[in-house]
Amino acid sequence: MFQFLFYNTLKKEYNWFNPIRLGKVSLYTCGPTVYNYAHIGNLRTYMFEDVLKRGLEFFGYQVCHVLNITDVGHLESNHDFGDDKLVLAAKKEKRKVFEVATYYENKFFEDLRSLNILLPNIKSKATDHINLMIELISALIRAGYAYENSGNVYFRVSTFKRYFDLIGNQFDIDKAFNRIDIDTLKKDNRDFVLWFSNSKYPNQLMKWKSPWGIGFPGWHIECSAMALFYLGRKLDIHCGGIDHIMVHHTNEIAQSESILQHQWANIWMHGDFLTHENNKMAKSMNNFFTLKDLEKEGFKSEHFRFLCISVHYRHRLNFSFQALLGAKSSYEKLLSIAKSLNSNNDKKIDLVKNSFSSNMIKMYLKQLQNAILFDLDTPKMINVLWEVLKSSLCRYEKKRILKLCDKILGLNLFNEQFLTLSQKEKIEKRQNARIEKKWELADELRKELQKERVFLRDTVQGTQWYIN
Ligand code: AMP
Ligand code: ZN
């Protein structure tokens, strides 16, 4: 019996993973706020969640994965102050809010495809679910967990006894409530916003009718509303980066569990930060790189993916181009080994098959399996893989093991996606259209290919394609 052991932030210990429904996993991962390009720190978190999903699927679970797209309500701070990030971006870029949201959402999915991250089963955009949020807020008010004051609705933190369970330690709790901006409409400074009709920005660009006035939802309510709607009253796993523990996930738990009256998510998993020069990579710090920035320096997405999986998801990854160079050389070495294993005639290899030591294979498979089952230890997997490749196993078995592992690591070592001839022709035709500056035709061809689930990405090294 294969069983995962995950570090559960809620319990501060490793917990065996027991799905709520046999063979099925409900997984909610907090998605991007689409006001700018995703930086590689964000992408590190999505990659850890991808390895989790691939690992679960590898061991036969059917995963229902919901990812939200935040296109309203995320203010400049993770707390309740500052203007909406989308509104600020729209003003800066002199575009409509929905144009900004659509543009960065598309770019976000391009990055996911480029990194070979499996797409969610359900992608849910906050602005498509405002009514759900209004219903949930109304229910919280009726049950006494929330109150309205002058058009704003706040969650009353004192009503939820387990409010600090996820945060856990006093130092972080004190930090969480050391807020700069005091909202005089709050009855308690710890309370947080569920709905704003009375924001300090009177010309709010995004607003909807609600029982409390025309306004917009708080950021945290969107995840509770959409996760409850799509995944039901009990959730197997909820994920995000560690910056979400203190405010966003703590508030999600308060909202959801007040309504449900029982523990909501069984396991909370959080990926540690990607840092640069030992500072958290963040747009607000202006110390960030995008995937495109790495490409401009001659790196491929696979190099970055390799870098990420070489570090355990609960360890900090201090990004530098030097480290990326190391990942590039390891990845290219692995790729060339995979190619050489692949180039062999399988029939011939089959004959050699009998000569392998089955005990050695069993030992390696066990080590690899234990590594992934024990809290997604991808660095350990990679170490074992190098040993496998150096071992006396025959090529056939090395290839088999590498292929199995790649289902989880997602490095696409055997490039098993194929284009049809007509798709190849379309890509070529589009290249020519671009050279001749026939942009409309190029766009049309891109759209046609997208309908066939072939996605293109124009990089400095040429056009790459992905099937998803
Ligand atoms: P946001 O778009 O800011 O809501 O962030 C999207 C995801 O990226 C969330 O899960 C964050 O926790 C995560 N994240 C943000 N910054 C970093 C970072 N420097 N390293 C790793 N993950 C991050
Ligand atoms: Zn969320």
Q: Are 32 and 38 in contact (CB under 8 A)?
A: yes
Q: Which percentage of the chain shows pLDDT scores above 70? A: 89
Residue 75 scores a pLDDT above 80: no
Q: Which of 387, 409, 431 is the last residue of a domain?
A: 409
- At 171 the pLDDT is 63
CA 441 / ligand 2 centre spacing (Å)? 39
pTM recorded for the entire structure = 0.87
How far apart CA 408 and CA 56 sit, in angstroms, is 9
Q: In this structure, are 141 and 264 located in the same domain?
A: yes
Q: In this structure, are 48 and 21 located in the same domain?
A: yes
**CATH label of the domain that carries residue 48:** 3.40.50.620
Residue 147 lies in a domain: yes
Instruction: Select the more confidently predicted residue: 173 or 90.
Output: 90
DSSP string, 69-107: EB-S--BSSSSS-S-BHHHHHHHHHTS-HHHHHHHHHHH
Domain that holds residue 17: 5-271
Q: In this structure, are 338 and 440 located in the same domain?
A: no
Residues in Cβ contact with 169 at an 8 Å cutoff, skipping those fewer than 6 apart: none
Q: In this structure, are 77 and 216 located in the same domain?
A: yes
Residue 293 lies in a domain: no
Average predicted confidence (pLDDT) for the chain: 89
204-208: average pLDDT: 81
Q: Are 140 and 155 in contact (CB under 8 A)?
A: yes
Residues in Cβ contact with 70 at an 8 Å cutoff, skipping those fewer than 6 apart: 31, 32, 33, 34, 126, 219, 222
Which of 28-42, 386-400, 451-465 shows the lowest mean pLDDT across its residues?
A: 451-465
- At 421 the pLDDT is 61
Give, for ligand 1, the residue of 27, 28, 42 to mutate: max count of ligand atoms closer than 8 Å to Cβ: 42
CA 384 / ligand 2 centre spacing (Å)? 35
Q: In this structure, are 401 and 426 located in the same domain?
A: no
- At 286 the pLDDT is 87
Residue 287 lies in a domain: no
Q: Are 254 and 157 in contact (CB under 8 A)?
A: yes
Output b/e per residue, 399-435; b: 16+ Cβ within 10 A.
bbbbeebbebbbbbbeeeeeeeeebeebbeebbebbe
- At 37 the pLDDT is 92
Q: In this structure, are 186 and 58 located in the same domain?
A: yes
With tokens 């699927």, the residue in question is 57
With tokens 């190619």, the residue in question is 339
Q: In this structure, are 400 and 445 located in the same domain?
A: no
Q: Of 386, 388, 383, which is closest to residue 360 (Cα–Cα)?
A: 388
Q: In this structure, are 211 and 87 located in the same domain?
A: yes
Residue 411 scores a pLDDT above 70: yes
Q: Which of 409, 432, 454 is the last residue of a domain?
A: 409
Residue 419 scores a pLDDT above 60: yes
Ligand 1 atom nearest residue 275's Cα: 19
- Report pLDDT digits (tens) over 330-368: 999 999 999 898 775 544 444 344 444 688 999 999 999
Q: In this structure, are 98 and 60 located in the same domain?
A: yes
Q: In this structure, are 141 and 240 located in the same domain?
A: yes
Residue 156 lies in a domain: yes
**Ligand 1 neighbours by CB, cut-off 6 Å:** 30, 32-33, 41-42, 44-45, 240-241, 243-244, 271, 273-274, 280-282
**Of all helices (H) and strands (E), which one includes residue 283?**
none
- At 274 the pLDDT is 98
Residue 294 lies in a domain: no
How, if at all, do strands 265-271 and 216-217 pair? unpaired
